[in-house]
Structure 1
Amino acid sequence: MSDKTETAPTGISERLEPLVRRVLAPNPSPFTFTGTQTYLVGTDTDVAVIDPGPDEAEHLHSLNAAIGQARVVAIMCTHTHRDHSPAAAPLSAMTGAPIIGCAPLVIQTDAPRADAPFDQSYSPDRVLTEGETVGGEGWTLRALETPGHTSNHLCFALEESGALFTGDHVMGWSTSVVAPPDGDMAGYMASMERLYERDDRIYYPAHGPAVTKPRQLVRGMIGHRRQRERQILTRLADGPAAIPKLVETMYVGLDQRLVPAAGQSVLAHLIDLERKGKVGREGDCWQLAA
């Protein structure tokens, strides 16, 4: 999450490398940065569309123009937050392409959500599991299961170029929100460790700039999360505290619009620490385990 703002051209098909183009959706916010980046992977003959984005007429028109005469092999979603997958159904109706990617997921909870709520309309024709592929003329996308931000999150590796489409799992402009009950810090850290062991050349996230030094960024993000964990334990060593007080201590000067997101990530850390036997709770307050 970040409070940084930046302008970027929306609706323009930008070629990033021979097999990859990007179209930015017009949905900027404190949680989406300049907006959702939809990727077209493939050639003039056939393409896959990754993270079609919000169901907005302007964005769908831009995607249709970018696709041109190419056959759409698949519409692929990394996960089902509403800034990623709602355009899948109307784009499928326009192109006749199947929706292939993450599993459907809708979380019913009364807890405040810091990120975009889940897309209840998402209905894939095929769910990809670890290692399964989608391909076309000269390109292959392989699914990697990367739970953490959401339990159904996938990344897609473009085998011909060494690019990895990381959705919301890794972004250069911001850390990912991990919001319980579905977001899971232990799962997120395990997925980050897994990416660190890979040798991807470049990351293309759904929000923000491409990541040209992937392992360096992932190493830093793992360190950042471990630092947050240490901050929590250090603060609780001074006595029990509720999450709002922890956020106030840990996120000095944070944009008030992002406070709920910070609270959700702190909760995710606390749940993980509780499972490890390091902290406990009594009512709304958390404390070090006896």
Structure 2
Amino acid sequence: MTDAAALPGQPRGGVLSGPATARAVNVLAPNASAMTLDGTNTWLVSEPDSELAVVIDPGPQDEAHLRTVVDTARQAGKRVALTLLTHGHPDHAEGAARFAELTGTKVRALDPALRLGDEGLAAGDVVTVGGLELRVVPTPGHTADSLCFHLPADRAVLTGDTILGRGTTVVAHPDGRLGDYLDSLRRLRSLAVDDGVHTVLPGHGPVLEDAQGVVEFYLAHRAHRLAQVETAVEDGFREPAEVVARVYADVDRSLWPAAELSVRAQLEYLQEHGLI
């Protein structure tokens, strides 16, 4: 879920649909919009020599898309064995229950309300299917239940809405919190620096091949916006809508409602830290 259009200086990417790494294939959902960019990226992940696959974020309740994901796996000689969710927003998770019916799989998520089966997901979990290894990385901030999945064999990370392939993401206040989000970005930076992750497989937009550069861009962007919000408040703009009009004047007005969520999160952060 984006809160801004593509920004100058953001690393460029590629691959909107089809193979992105040796183990990850993107099936793009037909739900393009200002908020979802080109649509939701549904990720089909498996070891090349395995018949079993994992699907991450089946996407919206769109029967044709869900069946396309199943068919894509079948055409590759694979069977979907597990469904995972990065978070509970409908453009990622609404189709999960129906997808579970189509595939006979369990659905694992951080939020118990989204699970189908007894097993959830938590920090430090390692999901293994058919030799594939996915490491669960907690990344709250966009939402409280946001997760990323580290795919070490491809030096990649699947980021849901925590990092997008284009533009920046919403801190969806009040569920999302800026402090948590900044901590999550730093956690992803550590994956890039310490664990050699270089490829970002986002929930929307193209694949990015400079994970550390992307995270640094996001951190710099958030610091810049936070400083703008602080200045706006010092100049007498107190209401979130007023701050949006001042700070996000360069952003399409259709995205202002989403930007207001981020502004509310920023105001809360500044208040908590005694900066306003």
Query: What TM-score does the superposition give when structure 2 sets the normalisation length?
Result: 0.88
Read off the aligned partner of 1:162 and give its amino acid letter: R
Q: Residue 39 of structure 1: which of 23, 40, 43 is its match?
A: 43
Equivalent residue, structure 2, for 1:123? 115
SS in 1 for 2:30: coil
Equivalent residue, structure 1, for 2:182? 189
Equivalent residue, structure 1, for 2:158? 165
SS in 2 for 1:23: strand
Give the count of matched residue pairs.
258
Q: In percent, how many aligned pairs have the same letter?
A: 34
Contact 2:27 2:43 in 1 (8 A): yes
Q: Residue 259 of structure 1: which of 234, 256, 259 is its match?
A: 256
How far off is 1:130 after superposition? 0.9
How far off is 1:138 after superposition? 3.2
Output the CA distance in 2 between the equivalents of 1:228 and 1:156: 27
Equivalent residue, structure 2, for 1:54? 60
Output the CA distance in 1 between the equivalents of 2:24 and 2:187: 24
Contact 1:76 1:101 in 2 (8 A): yes
Q: Does 1:90 align with 2:98?
A: yes
SS in 1 for 2:182: helix
Output the CA distance in 2 between the equivalents of 1:232 and 1:2: 16
Output the CA distance in 2 between the equivalents of 1:236 and 1:103: 35
Q: Residue 209 of structure 2: which of 208, 212, 224 is its match?
A: 212
Q: Does 1:76 align with 2:78?
A: no
Q: Does 1:2 align with 2:7?
A: no
Equivalent residue, structure 2, for 1:233? 230
Output the CA distance in 1 between the equivalents of 2:130 and 2:172: 39
SS in 1 for 2:93: coil
Equivalent residue, structure 2, for 1:177? 170
Contact 1:172 1:217 in 2 (8 A): no
Equivalent residue, structure 2, for 1:27? 31
How far off is 1:134 after superposition? 1.5
Structure 2 gaps of 5+ residues are 7-13
How far off is 1:172 after superposition? 2.6
Read off the aligned partner of 1:177 and give its amino acid letter: V
Contact 2:58 2:96 in 1 (8 A): yes
Equivalent residue, structure 2, for 1:138? 131
Output the CA distance in 2 between the equivalents of 1:137 and 1:239: 58
How far off is 1:3 after superposition? 4.6
How far off is 1:39 after superposition? 0.6
Q: Deviations over 1:195-251 (max 9, x none)?
A: 111221201001001111111111111111111111122222223532222111111
Structure 1 gaps of 5+ residues are 106-121, 280-290
Shift in CA distance, 240/3, structure 1 to aligned 2, threshold 3 Å:
closer
Shift in CA distance, 66/219, structure 1 to aligned 2, threshold 3 Å:
same
Equivalent residue, structure 2, for 1:269? 266
Output the CA distance in 1 between the equivalents of 2:213 and 2:127: 28
SS in 1 for 2:191: coil
Contact 1:52 1:88 in 2 (8 A): yes
Q: Deviations over 1:240-270 (max 9, x none)?
A: 5322221111112422211111111111000
Output the CA distance in 1 between the equivalents of 2:128 and 2:203: 20
Runs of 4+ in 1 over 6 A off after TM superposition: none
Per residue, is there more helix in 1 or in 2? 2
Q: Residue 155 of structure 1: which of 119, 132, 148 is its match?
A: 148
RMSD: 1.9
